[in-house]
């Protein structure tokens, strides 16, 4: 479910709640506003978590608070089901305020049209948003995705079948694609 950001420059601070959840690919940092899930970050050890909290405070204008009112309960439940291997996308309200322009357009298309257990090429995704030939720009949009796993940038691959890049690391991308049945699970 999509929820648009407040209009740019309206001056309102956005209350933010955060938590770190353990899952099969390591600790995930999650942050939500009253509008929805706003940030997911891989490998959320203490130093990375602290950097993310500083960035969110700067971008959203309020100090994030650790699990105050339950805004993250639905996200944690949905991600727990996903990592337990239940087929289907993690369907949550999303706050798109950390992305804009072409990147937002591409990420919204990805979220709405590339379901669990499927993949799409960078060039194909560019064509879907009316920008054939913008495969590299799509790659940049994937790299800037503030909501990985939920907005499944791990499902975007090279046209020749290669994995392409991934902000969470290629091993994490392999694990997510194996979880969804796109790649075989590793033997070791």
pLDDT digits (tens, 9 = 90+) for 91-130: 899 999 999 999 999 999 999 999 999 999 999 999 999 9
Catalytic positions, written as ranges = 153
Q: Which two tokens stand for residue 103?
A: 């990147």
Q: E strands within 42-175?
A: 65-66, 94-95, 120-121, 156-157
Q: Report the C-alpha gap between 135 and 123 in whole angstroms.
A: 4
pLDDT at 2: 44
Beta bridge partners of 17: 32, 65
- Ranges of the chain with pLDDT below 50: 1-9, 188
177: three-class secondary structure by DSSP: helix
Q: Report the C-alpha gap between 57 and 95 in whole angstroms.
A: 15
Q: pTM for the whole thing?
A: 0.89
Helix axes 135-143, 101-113, angle to 10 degrees: 90
């Amino acid at each position: 479910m999509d929820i648009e950001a407040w209009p740019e420059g309206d001056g309102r601070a956005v209350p933010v709640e955060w938590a770190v959840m353990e899952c099969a690919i390591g600790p995930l940092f999650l942050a939500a506003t009253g509008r929805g899930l706003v940030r997911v970050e891989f490998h959320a050890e203490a130093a990375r978590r602290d950097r993310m909290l500083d960035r969110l405070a700067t971008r959203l204008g309020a100090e994030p608070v650790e699990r105050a009112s339950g805004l993250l309960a639905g996200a944690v439940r949905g991600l727990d089901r996903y990592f337990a291997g239940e087929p289907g996308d993690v369907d949550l309200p999303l706050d798109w305020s950390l992305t804009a322009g072409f990147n937002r357009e591409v990420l919204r298309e990805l979220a709405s049209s590339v379901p669990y257990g499927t993949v799409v090429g960078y060039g194909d995704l560019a064509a879907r948003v009316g920008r054939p030939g913008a495969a590299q720009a799509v790659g940049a949009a994937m790299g800037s995705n503030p909501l990985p796993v939920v907005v499944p940038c791990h499902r975007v691959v090279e046209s020749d079948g290669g994995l392409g890049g991934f902000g969470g690391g290629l091993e994490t991308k392999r694990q997510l694609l194996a979880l969804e049945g796109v790649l075989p699970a590793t033997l070791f």
